[in-house]
């Protein structure tokens, strides 16, 4: 498949999945001349957003001290989890080493942040190290709250029809084993999403489509019933996308249940319990893809950083100006990636666009200047609808569709080229982003 695509077209394709919007003046890591400063910048979290921020700051600044704090030594390419769970890539496809993406000038403290003290301009690590800063970028991602689903046991993923694509590379591989057995045997497949904000809201939908396709390819679709339980009255937060998915689900005979929020699971009896407007409902399954509630990590939730009221306060998402990613109460603090309390985002594609904006504002601040860089809410999701086809869904804060390549990749069309983008071109572009080059 790749032989017809030269490298340049290949990276362009990947960029469509990772926010191929035209760069704003000054947002390119190499566009600006280096800024001299002795500031100490701390980055909490060395995932997609933290590494991209570290790379960009190292490129933009001269003389700065940059410290990144994260205990995790492996880097997970999470957009690949669905491909592993779809039997399309091996488990190793998604794991690499954090160290490989860190610029030599960046100091890495291999611990977690236990306490954020934005009043004292410091963080404290789990080992008790106090680290002061002039500016802080919080990029801790989010926490998968499996504990909120009564009866759920993460270490049983892969057995007794229990799948969960999100829990990590091993869980994604084990989910493939469970789903593949289901595709051989049939029964009821149950899919769902949580009632919280979540990363890549397209992923639970993709997995329902992929499972449907395996059943068909193995001649077992008539032996199976597929049910998708949505947390509210929509299948996706962008109305036009929700409607398109509803039509595709109807065509593929994937049943829908609305206003169903999973609260418990009986792994032995293979029954999931949902809260609904009319009371608790049980649905039995032969295969289930559990997608847990998602919240800000504990250390963030316990800090003064989250929204103090409104929709994002309860789960601890960090208060941030949606255009600049700057904290309104602590102006030397920025939130990027999944932990940011902004109306859209929570994809690697959003990270690609958020980080240059936050870095631009931070660098301007160090110079006593201001920046006019703006994050528009760009979010992108290559939604696999069957093996060999995907729809590129790109949108902004106002639910406008924002196609990167109008006339080439039509939004909401099931295309082979979008499938190539998701399965082949996205990863090299993502890795380039970690190095500050995309
Ligand atoms: C199944 C799945 C499919 C996806 N598909 C897509 C897709 O197709 N397209 C797309 O664009 N995106 C997709 N995503 C979403 C994308 O992977 C995330 O949005 C992206 O990784 C967010 O980056 P982040 O840096 O905010 O978080 P992460 O990459 O998760 O990194 C967070 C880091 O913070 C660290 N951390 C946590 N707590 C602390 C602490 N207290 N102190 C220090 N460090 C801490 C963690 O160890 C981790 O290294 C998918 C995600 C999943 C799970």
What are the pLDDT digits (tens) for 281-296?
999 999 999 999 999 9
264: nearest Cα among 147, 406, 102: 147
Asked if residue 32 lies in contact with residue 101, where contact means CB atoms within 8 angstroms, the answer is no
For the stretch 176-182, contacts whose Cβ atoms lie closer than 8 Å and that sit 24 or more positions apart, written own/partner, are 176/84, 176/85, 176/86, 176/87, 178/287, 179/85, 179/87, 179/207, 179/210, 179/211, 179/214, 179/287, 179/289, 180/87, 180/214, 181/287, 182/211, 182/224, 182/286, 182/287
Say if CB 292 and CB 166 are below 8 A apart.
yes
> Is the C-beta atom of 381 inside 6 A of ligand 1?
yes
Closest alpha carbon to 248 in 212, 194, 292: 212
What is the position in ligand 1's atom list of the atom closest to the CA of 77? Answer: 17
In the sheet where 224-229 sits, what is the strand order?
Answer: 162-163, 287-289, 187-192, 224-229, 254-257
Q: pLDDT for 370-390, tens place per residue?
A: 999 999 999 998 999 999 999
Residue that finishes a domain, picked among 361, 377, 393: 377
Query: For residue 179, is pLDDT > 60?
Result: yes
Pairing of strands 287-289, 187-192: parallel
Question: In this structure, are 32 and 167 located in the same domain?
Answer: no
Mean pLDDT of 107-117: 98
Q: Given pLDDT bands bounded at 50, 70 and 90, which one contains residue 20?
A: very low
Of 359, 377, 395, the residue at which a domain comes to its end is 377
Q: Is residue 325 part of a domain?
A: yes
Same domain? For 262 and 221 the reply is: yes
Task: Measure the CA–CA gap between 335 and 339, rounded to whole angstroms.
Answer: 7
Q: Are residues 193 and 135 in the same domain?
A: no
Stretch among 199-208, 301-310, 333-342, 400-409 having the lowest mean pLDDT: 400-409
pLDDT band at 14 (very low <50, low <70, confident <90, very high): low
At residue 405, the pLDDT reads 84
What is the CA(397)–ligand 1 centre distance, in A? 20
Whole-prediction pTM: 0.94
Do 254 and 133 share a structural domain? no
Q: Tell whether the model's pLDDT for residue 116 goes beyond 50.
A: yes
pLDDT the model gives residue 23: 36
Q: Is 168 in the pocket of ligand 1 (CB under 6 A)?
A: no
- Do 159 and 265 sit in the same domain of this protein? yes
To the nearest whole number, what is the mean pLDDT of the chain?
93
Q: Are residues 78 and 176 in the same domain?
A: no
State in Å: Cα 250 to ligand 1 middle.
32
User: Does residue 426 sit within a domain?
Assistant: no
Tell me, in angstroms, the distance from the centre of ligand 1 to residue 262's CA.
23
For the purposes of burial, counting CB atoms within 10 Å of the CB of 268, is it exposed (0-12), middle (13-18) or buried (19 or more)?
A: exposed
Pairing of the two strands 389-395 and 333-335: unpaired
> What pLDDT does 10 receive?
53
Least confident among 3-12, 123-132, 248-257? 3-12
Specify the DSSP element, H or E, that contains 352: helix 348-366
**Domains: count for the chain:** 2
Q: Determine contact, residues 424/1, Cβ cutoff 8 Å.
A: yes
**Residue 235 to residues 201, 229, 239, 241, 414, Cα–Cα distance (Å):** 9, 9, 9, 8, 17
Predicted confidence (pLDDT) at residue 19 exceeds the cutoff of 50: no
Rounded CA-CA distance 241/202 in Å is: 10
Query: Atom of ligand 1 at shortest distance to CA of 382?
Result: 8
Look at residues 140, 213, 203 and name the one whose alpha carbon lies nearest to residue 182.
213
Task: State the residue for tokens 């306060």.
Answer: 313
Dihedral, CA atoms, 113, 118, 120, 126, nearest 10 degrees?
A: -10
- Domain contains 7: no
Residue 263 domain boundaries: 146-294
Kindly give the interhelix angle for 203-217 and 239-251, rounded to the nearest 10 degrees: 20
Mutate to test the pocket of ligand 1, among 43, 72, 76, 79 (most ligand atoms within 8 A of CB): 79
Is residue 169 situated within a structural domain?
A: yes
pLDDT higher than threshold 70 for residue 21: no
Ligand 1 neighbourhood includes 355 CB (under 6 angstroms) = no
Q: Distance, CA 246 to ligand 1 centroid (Å)?
A: 28
Q: What is the pLDDT of residue 17?
A: 61
6 belongs to a structural domain = no
Given this model, what pLDDT does residue 406 score?
Answer: 84
Percent of the chain with pLDDT over 90: 90
Distance 338 CA to ligand 1 centre (A): 6
- Least confidently predicted of 4-18, 162-176, 240-254: 4-18
Burial status of residue 234 (CB atoms within 10 A of its CB: 0-12, 13-18, 19 or more): middle
For residue 228, being part of any structural domain is answered with: yes
Residues in a beta bridge with 306? 318
The β-bridge relationship of strands 379-386 and 389-395 is antiparallel
Atom of ligand 1 lying closest to residue 172 CA: 1
Burial class (CB in 10 A: 0-12, 13-18, 19+), 218: middle
In this structure, the answer to whether residues 357 and 283 fall within a common structural domain is no
Q: Quick one: which atom of ligand 1 is closest to the CA of 297?
A: 38
Helices (H), 154-233: 169-185, 203-217
By mean pLDDT, which of 8-22, 146-160, 390-404 is the weakest?
Answer: 8-22
Q: Which of 21, 70, 173, 192 to mutate to test the pocket of ligand 1 (most atoms within 8 A of CB)?
A: 70
CA atoms within 13 A on the CB side of 43: 32
> Is residue 223 assigned to a domain?
yes
Region 334-361: mean pLDDT is 97
Tell whether ligand 1 has an atom less than 6 A from the beta carbon of residue 139. yes
> Do 273 and 313 fall into the same domain?
no
78 and 156 both lie in a single domain: no
Q: CB burial class (10 A; 0-12, 13-18, 19+) of residue 137?
A: buried
Distance of CA 21 from the midpoint of ligand 1 (Å): 21
Q: Is the pLDDT of residue 1 over 50?
A: no
Domain boundary among 294, 315, 336: 294
Instruction: Give the atom of ligand 1 at the shortest distance from the alpha carbon of 380.
Output: 11
Task: Evaluate if residue 326 carries a pLDDT over 80.
Answer: yes
CA of 293 to the centre of ligand 1 (A): 15
Among 18-22, 131-135, 271-275, 283-287, whose mean pLDDT is lowest?
A: 18-22
For residue 401, give the 3-state DSSP assignment.
strand
46 with 128, same domain? yes
The answer to whether the CB of 82 is under 6 A from ligand 1 is yes
SS3 15: helix
With vertex at residue 312, the alpha carbon angle to CA 310 and CA 315, rounded to the nearest 5 degrees, is: 130
Please indicate, yes or no, whether residues 301 and 286 belong to a single structural domain of this protein: no
| Smallest CA separation from ligand 1 atom 4, residue | 79
Inter-CA distances, 117 with 38, 133, 183, 315, 335, Å: 21, 10, 50, 19, 15
For the segment 2-7, the average pLDDT, to the nearest whole number, is 45
Express as a percent the part of the chain with pLDDT over 70.
93
Helix/strand/coil percentages in the chain, nearest 5: 35, 25, 40
Q: Is the pLDDT of residue 31 over 60?
A: no
Q: What CATH number is given to the structural domain containing 238? A: 3.50.50.60
Q: Are residues 192 and 234 in the same domain?
A: yes
Residue 22 lies in a domain: no
Within 10 Å of residue 29's Cβ, how many Cβ atoms? 20
Q: Quick one: pLDDT band at residue 13, thresholds 50, 70, 90? A: low
Mutate to test the pocket of ligand 1, among 348, 390, 392, 424 (most ligand atoms within 8 A of CB): 348
Distance CA(30)–CA(209), nearest Å, equals 40
Q: How confident is the model at residue 12 (pLDDT cuts 50, 70, 90)?
A: low
The string of pLDDT tens digits covering residues 60-106 is: 999 999 999 999 999 999 999 999 999 999 999 999 999 999 999 99
């Amino acid at each position: 498949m790749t032989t017809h695509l030269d490298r340049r077209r290949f990276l362009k394709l990947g960029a469509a999945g990772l926010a191929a919007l035209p760069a704003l003046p000054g947002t390119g890591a190499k566009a600006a001349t280096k800024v001299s400063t002795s500031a100490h910048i701390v980055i909490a979290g060395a995932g997609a957003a933290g590494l991209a921020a570290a790379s960009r700051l190292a490129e933009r600044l001269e003389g700065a001290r940059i410290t990144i704090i994260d205990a995790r030594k492996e880097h997970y390419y999470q957009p690949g989890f669905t491909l592993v769970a779809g039997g399309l890539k091996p488990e190793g496809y998604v794991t690499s080493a954090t160290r490989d993406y860190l610029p030599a000038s960046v100091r890495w403290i291999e611990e977690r942040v236990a306490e954020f003290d934005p009043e004292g301009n410091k963080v404290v690590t789990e080992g008790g190290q106090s680290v002061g800063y002039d500016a802080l970028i919080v990029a801790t991602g989010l926490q998968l709250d499996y504990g909120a689903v009564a009866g759920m046991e993460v270490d049983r993923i892969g057995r007794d029809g229990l799948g969960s694509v999100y829990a990590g590379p091993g869980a994604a591989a084990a989910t493939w084993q469970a789903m593949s057995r289901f595709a051989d045997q049939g029964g009821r497949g149950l899919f769902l999403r949580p009632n919280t904000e979540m990363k890549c809201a397209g992923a639970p939908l993709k997995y329902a489509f992929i499972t449907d396709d395996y059943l068909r390819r193995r001649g077992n679709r008539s032996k199976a019933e597929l049910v998708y339980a949505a947390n509210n009255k929509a299948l996706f937060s962008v109305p036009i996308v929700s409607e398109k998915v509803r039509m595709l689900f109807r065509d593929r005979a994937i049943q829908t249940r609305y206003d169903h929020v999973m609260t418990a699971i009986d792994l032995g009896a293979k029954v999931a319990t949902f809260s609904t407007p009319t009371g608790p409902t049980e649905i039995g399954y032969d295969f289930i893809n559990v997608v847990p509630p998602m919240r800000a990590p504990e250390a963030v939730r316990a800090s003064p950083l989250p929204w103090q009221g409104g929709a994002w306060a309860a789960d601890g998402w960090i208060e941030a100006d949606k255009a600049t990613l700057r904290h309104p109460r602590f102006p030397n603090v920025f939130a990027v990636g999944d932990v940011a309390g902004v109306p859209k985002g929570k994809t690697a594609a959003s990270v690609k666009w958020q980080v240059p904006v936050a870095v631009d504002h931070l660098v301007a601040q160090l110079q006593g200047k201001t920046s006019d860089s703006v994050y528009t809410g760009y979010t992108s999701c290559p939604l696999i609808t069957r093996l060999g086809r995907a729809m590129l869904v790109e949108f902004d804060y106002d639910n406008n569709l924002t196609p990167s390549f109008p006339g080439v990749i039509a939004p909401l069309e099931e295309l082979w080229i979008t499938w190539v983008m998701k399965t082949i071109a996205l990863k090299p572009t993502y890795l380039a982003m970690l190095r500050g080059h995309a």
